[in-house]
Amino acid sequence: MKNTPSPYQIHWPFKIRIKRPGHRFPVILGVILLILPFLFLTGVIFKHYLQIDMWIFTSVYEWIVNSDQKYGDASIVNWTIRFFLLGGPFIAFLLNFLLIFQQKKTASFSLSYKWINLLIILSGALLCIIFLSYLMMENLMPPN
């Protein structure tokens, strides 16, 4: 009696299969979304704190600063850059977290251990914490 169809189920003449993106898509997208914030943050560290001119890091930082001064706050270019700086690590974190943490139909959860996903999750969370703490300190500190 286990294989008998239920009168309450809808039986379709065809099956729809939705292919989930594999393991590579969230990893590649996460790395791409983490590149710009990582280069910007290391550019700030090299330029202001260490006073070293490392070409790729400081050039990304200077490009972002110049575009901010050139276009102003109302430009779509600046809002796109800000989205990638703040939203990129969060999206990378979220995509890879959802990939390794899967909810099953029962009340149990599954955690698949993949080191590259965990690395992207940790670096995305770290970049989010750094940028958000900078924004909070910049806006909450009294001006001198």
For 94-119, how does the pLDDT look when each residue is reduced to its tens digit (9 = 90+)? 888 777 776 555 555 556 667 777 88
Q: What is the pTM of this model?
A: 0.65
pLDDT at 57 over 70: yes
- Fill in the amino acid letter for 121: I
Q: State the pLDDT at residue 116.
A: 79
- Please say whether the beta carbons of 27 and 93 come within 8 A: no
Q: State the pLDDT at residue 138.
A: 74
3-state helix, strand, coil in the chain (%, to 5): 65, 5, 30
Q: State the pLDDT at residue 15.
A: 54
Q: What band does 10 get if pLDDT is binned at 50, 70 and 90?
A: low
**Within 10 Å of residue 1's Cβ, how many Cβ atoms?**
3
Rounded Cα distance between 47 and 34, Å, is 20
Q: What band does 12 get if pLDDT is binned at 50, 70 and 90?
A: low
Q: State the pLDDT at residue 46.
A: 83
Q: State the pLDDT at residue 114.
A: 73
Rounded Cα distance between 78 and 86, Å, is 12
Mean per-residue pLDDT of the chain: 76
